[in-house]
Amino acid sequence: MDTITRADLVDLLQKKNDFSRQEAMAFLEQMLELFAQTLEQGEGLKLSGFGTFGVREKTTRIGRNPLTGQEALISARRVPYFRPSRLLRDIVNSE
């Protein structure tokens, strides 16, 4: 399974939109920064036809170390998630 990296995305933006490498890199960095800032503020981000990014609040709980079996306290935290749109799921699952 191939994985597209940040550098690959810059190359694609550069070729498909006739951007310079610096413009493509700046555009991608700005978009990713906007996504991160939106999620950091606890807001959701919906990209129509692609999916929804959001943040879930996890409460403090007791966990267990799988190696030792010893109980440990897992602190409360915020966890980002992605839920694909129906359109994206259909595209991925099309033959």
Interval 57-78: pLDDT, tens: 999 999 999 999 999 999 999 9
Mean pLDDT of the chain: 94
Q: What is the pLDDT of residues 25-58, one digit of tens each?
A: 999 999 999 999 999 999 999 999 999 999 999 9
For the question of whether the overall pTM of this predicted structure is more than 0.85, the answer is no
The domain 42-95 is placed in CATH, from the list 4.10.520.10, 3.40.50.10860, 3.60.20.10, 3.30.56.10, at: 4.10.520.10
Q: Domain ranges in the chain?
A: 1-41, 42-95
Count the Cβ atoms, other than its own, within 10 Å of residue 51.
Answer: 17
Q: Residue 54 burial by CB count (10 A; 0-12/13-18/19+): exposed, middle or buried?
A: middle
